[in-house]
Structure formats: C-alpha cells, structure tokens
Structure 1
Amino acid sequence: MPLDRMLHNLIKWQRAEGPPTPVRALTVEEARERYLRNAIRPRSAGGGAHAAVSTADRMVDSADGSSFRVRVYAPETDEGRVLTYLHGGGWSLGDVDSHDWACRTAAVSLGAVVVSVDYRRAPEFPYPTPLHDAMTAARWTARCFPGREHVIAGDSAGANMALGVALDARDTGDVEFAGQLLVYPVVDPTLRFASNSACAEGYLLSVDDLAHHYDQYLPDPRRRSDPAVDLLNADLRNLPPTVVATAEFDPLHDEGVELAEKLRATGVPVRHVPGPGLVHGYFLMQDIVPAASARARLVLDELAAVLSPERGAKPVPFG
C-alpha cells in the first residue's frame, strides 16, 4: 500500500527546507522540545468524547528513594480495566504530555483507567532506571486498582519496557497481567532488521536516530544483551495475550513482525495488527491523520477482544 497521502504531505512539508536535523545533532533539551512540539497540537487538549476523561497526577516512590509522576485517566464509562502505559520517545524524549491524546483515546475506547508513567529518562537516567520505574509503576497500579483486568502497554521504546515489565511480572509473580499491548516495539538492539529495512530513513524515524537512542539508554554496550533489552532473544514463554501493532513505513516494522512470530511460536496468544500506509509514531497523529485514527481504534478493539467482556463499573479512588 502507498504511504498515506496526508503523511506524505506532512513529510514533504517537514523536508521543504532540507532534511530534519538528526537527533544526535541536538542537545537533549532541544530534542525534547522538538518532540513535544510535534506531538502536542491544539486539538490534543481534549475535546468531544475525550473531554469526558478526568485526570489526576500522582507521585510514586521508586525503589531508590526518588519519586516520579504518573497521570491517571478515568473515563465516564468504566468497564473494570486498567492500563499501565509507557510512552515512547527513545527512552529520552516524550512524557505524559506528549502522549496525552493517545492515553485519552485508550481510556475512552476501552472503558479503562489509564496510568501513564512519567518514568525517569536517559541520558540522565540510563538503563535500567527507566525500566525499574516502569516495574514500580505497574506494581503501584495493581495496588491502587485491584480487581481490574490489568494491561501493560506502550509504544516504541515504551513497548520495549512494557515487554520487559511483563517478563519481570511472569518471573516474580508481583503483578498479574490480563494482556499486553506493544505498539511498533523496539526489540532488536543490533538494529539488524532496521538497518536492512527499505524505510531506514525518510519516514520520520531513521536508523541513525534509533542508534543514538540506544547509545543514550545503554551507554554500557555490554548491557545490550540483557534479556530486557535484547527481547527477540529473551524467553518469551508464558506471557499474557498480546497485541502487536506495526507500521508499514517504519524501520522497526520487521522486528515487530518477528516478535509477533516468536511470541506465537512459544504459545502466547498474539494478534498482529499491521499499519498499512502508516509511519512510526502514528498513535500520536490520531487527531490529524484519519488513517492513523482508524488504525489506532482497530488496535484498541483487538486488545478489547482479548480481554473479558464488560465486568461492570469500578469506583476510581480519586476526584
């Protein structure tokens, strides 16, 4: 399928004055500001059905004595579900504000409380600190919202950590997940699939950007073989039912497909939702690209299908 027309025009407009500056050529502050500027648009403040979602920020104590923020989204229609959501951005960019629209959409579509995690980011806090924050947040969610179907979810680098959290929960028994949602996951630190992709550059995310993000997250190259990083070679058995979403024009496409196949081969129930005509990051484009919105709804419908039917409203313990 050809690249979506609106995405084609968006990329053409962004490149009108030349190729975008690579992430590695920016300071961390400049890269974060650019990411937020591209992710947050006027309509992303919430409107229509999204306005019916209430939010509250909370602080969660980390294992090392520090703390980090989570934003809790509560929809009017509550079906007894909760998502711990880990945002993308290469472990160093993005935050709860950049992914506000995506979390509101998930809350409304699934009738679920969504706990969006503002984990500490690289390079100030390299691996494993962001992953440990994600694990701590999942345990916090389980304690604060007991009795709900709990889904661990994330996009891009957040999907990488979501799978790492699911592996830890399987091995420790600390949290029971009813499902996991992995949206265009980053799972191959060798970048073998991404480098060989026909979409290695020119589609918003480049292999060079990926390499830089890995360098920031994993300054010690020896840690790249850790099972929570090299996820294609991890033991993927006995994980919860999984939805893997990929985008056609994404250097991460092939590793996402490979992950889905490996999960399925171990006996994990998997639903792979391809993203024809779409690029990496389309979950953040739902308010401006109709094809992205339609595909995101399909992804969330597939997740709902692996969960139990409506279990009745559960009170949310905050105003």
Structure 2
Amino acid sequence: MPTARNRLVSLQDTPFYHCVSRCVRRSYLCGVDAYSGVSYEHRRDWVEKRLLELTQAFAIEICAFAVMTNHTHVVLHVDAQKADDWNALEVLIRWHRLFAGTDVTRRYCDDEQRENLTRIELDQVDHQVELYRNRLADLSWFMRSLNEYIAREANKEDGCTGRFWEGRFKSQALLDEQALLACMAYVDLNPIRSGIAKTPEQSDFTSIQMRIRAALQGKQPERLKSFNAGSFESHALPCHLNDYLELVEFTGRAIRDDKVGAIPPCIGTLLQRLEIDLESWVELTEGFEGQFCHLAGRLHSLQHCRQTDGMHRIRGSGNAKRLLGA
C-alpha cells in the first residue's frame, strides 16, 4: 500500500526533495516513437518551460532537473518561510499567474475594485489567501501543476483522453548535503548515462546545461537555486558552483569510461569534505534512485528522521552505511 504523501514530505526534516514522474504510454513523453516514427522531442521544451514558469509563482526552487524520453527528474527546495513572508496581494498575484482564482480574489487585485469589497468579501479573501499560501509552498501542488499541464497538452496533441502518467510522482527526501549533491549529480548525468548526450554541455533540457551556459558568462541561472559557500543548515547549495561543475564533469567521465582511477585527484577535496570515498560516489551517482527509498541520507540522518515520525524500520540503512559512511 502506498505511503501517504504527508508521511513522505516533512519540512521539519529537510526542505530538499527528489521527484520522479514516469509516463505510462508506449509512445513516451518525448523522443521518437519506434512504431509510428513520430517525434515527440518538442515536448521536452514544454516540461522545461513549465518548470521554470512554476518557480515564478511557487515558493519552491529548482536545484536540478532532467527531461528524459519517458520520465522527468527534478530536485526541489521548498522555502516555506518565503511563502509566509508574502503579503496577501503578492500571494494572489502569484496564484493568478497559474490559476483563475475566484471572482472576489480577482477583484481584490484590482486597486479600484478593492475599495468596494464588503467585510464579508474581505474575510473570504483572507481565507483564500491562506489556502493559496499553503498550496504555493506545497510539493504536491507544484508537481500537480507540472504534470497535469503536460498531460493535458499531450492529450490535446494526441487527440485522446486518459491517463498520461503512470501514477503519482515518486519523492525522496534528501536529508543532508551528501544526499543532496549525490542526487543532483545523478539527475544531471542522466542523459549521459542513457546515451542521449556525450557531455554535460550537450545535455539538452537539463539544469547542468543551463548552469554551464550561465557560468561561461560569469553568472548563475536566475530560475535555478544558486550555489554558494553557505552551510546546509542555511538551505544554500553547499559548495561553490565551480566545484559542482568540476564534480559532475569528472564523475561523468568515470561512469562513461568505467575508469575510476582516471579521475584527477583534485576532485577528492569536495568528496573528502563530504566523507564519501570515490568508489561510493561513483556508485551513488550511477543509480541514486535505486539506492534509497523515500528517504535518502547518511545513517544518522535516516535514524533521526524515523525517530521524528515514530517509525522504526529504516529502508536503505545498509546503503546509507556502505555508501555514505556511518
């Protein structure tokens, strides 16, 4: 029986989550249908544009993403405090970027009509504002806004109805910086591992390509969560951008050529700081999704999370101890 989503997402434990959505159809989300010869490559652009559009409304940032032929990967950071700091008007403006809202909320956003609202109508606005505020910091609403939009567009193009995704999205809580960086590298290297691209900069519709293109101009992508030297506790991506790009490049070479010893020693600086040995890092980034279940992190992070929610069984504890250290 599937675990309830509110048992899988706990912002008290971590604001970082890895989400995967898989397509149910033979014709795939993207790519070329081997039976009909029809190309669906243009749908990758749908997913990327919708993802980036959602960040303009939600209090949720994108750390990494990859649009594959029959599934999507996205690593998200939920900033609940950001949503709490919005005033009523900003909440409604953000909500109306994606949804129609109600008649009274639309009138509230009009400076002239706002003055004519009655006390009862203003109370209705307050109720809707809090409802929308919670949704704009909700992981399920973010993924729903992404997947439902893509499903509708695909059904319209295919001239059919019915389910497009195989079921609800899969989520993994990334409890510490080791799990976060390993998962981001795993997502960014998905096109290389599948043979779609040979290098990160050639990996179309991925966060790593966006970061590399921006880095060449001395910038970081505005729509992606930035790297800096801050700590994990401050919810900043826990290393410099150059360190991460170098890490992905060398990890990608190790996976593609199967020559772990060929990776330059300089990459050990970040891995040593994370207390992960090189072979474990390569194994993690080859198959992160299969190494853990709904929770991912070091053993003590998993134990602490299980104590918080009152559950005793820790799935993935063996891999946590083996790959991320005790």
- Select the structure that is richer in helix: 2
Question: Structures share a fold, TM > 0.5?
Answer: no
Q: TM-score, normalised by structure 2?
A: 0.31
Quick check: which has more Rg, 1 or 2? Answer: 2
